[in-house]
Amino acid sequence: MSTDQASDQASGHASDHTSDQASGEPADQAVIPTADQPLSPPAGQAESPLPTPDAAYWEAAAEAFDDEPDHGLRDPAVRAAWDTRLRSWLPSLPGDILDLGCGTGSLALLAVEQGHRVTGVDRSAGMIARARAKLAGRDAGFLVGDAAEPPVGERRFDAVLVRHVLWALPDPAAVLRRWAGLLVPGGRLVLIEGRWGEADPIGIPASELAALTTPLAERMHLEQLSHDAALWGKEVNDERYALIVHTAPGPHLTPAQARVHTAIRRPTAGSRGHG
């Protein structure tokens, strides 16, 4: 999913989809979970003039999607930067990877070249058509569907890879629980997110995403990506990062169980305390 076009409209300048670390600081950084915070702008702040990220929007964006350096990965230096990062985030042994919001399949192609088997899901049929063409003859399959409710049945994966998708989904905590339910025991979530723009930033701060994933994690690993210009094909100033969430090597909920679990945990209006 692209944020460059969206943030152009929100802040007047382009911002890429992810972030990188070249600051000399260690990749692992302590993240202090914060209380649940809304992903929408704070009260009193004007609503961001972003396009609604619906299927029609991404369908229209599919034709030119790969023109962005970090989408098409046509520049060898950008491609190499993403290949190196992805190799460190995904399992070292060949595994089954679920790429949600896969776009035109650029990251899926890197994962397949590293020996993994990839299933990609995107709500845009145009994106999926381009991904299928890009990975024709490879060990990969692509499905048109909602990243929040991946149409993969009872299949389980060694890693769920998601780049710049969660920020646009309602109820991210429930979505994260659902994604964790698609992992084999000991699997991992590879979440590439950020907070883009200056005047009216959009996205998810790393501290907030860490708080949301803490109940799912046996351990997590944060990499700041903002200062690695090679990932974006240019210098960027906003917050971009990858959060690798390693889940416990125990039994996970099935997708159906996860939905029930989410429904039980979700408070109703009558169950909330008085403020």
Task: For residues 19-35, give the mean pLDDT.
Answer: 31
Rounded Cα gap, residues 207 and 41, in angstroms: 16
- CA 150/CA 8 separation, integer angstroms: 29
Reference 242, options 231, 233, 230; nearest CA is 231
Model pLDDT, residue 132: 97
Q: What is the pLDDT of residues 251-268, one digit of tens each?
A: 545 555 444 443 333 333
Q: pLDDT tens digit string along 73-99?
A: 888 999 999 999 999 999 999 999 999
Measured between alpha carbons, how far is 128 from 134 in angstroms, rounded to an integer? 10
The structure's pTM equals: 0.73
Report the C-alpha gap between 165 and 103 in whole angstroms: 10
Size of the chain in residues? 275
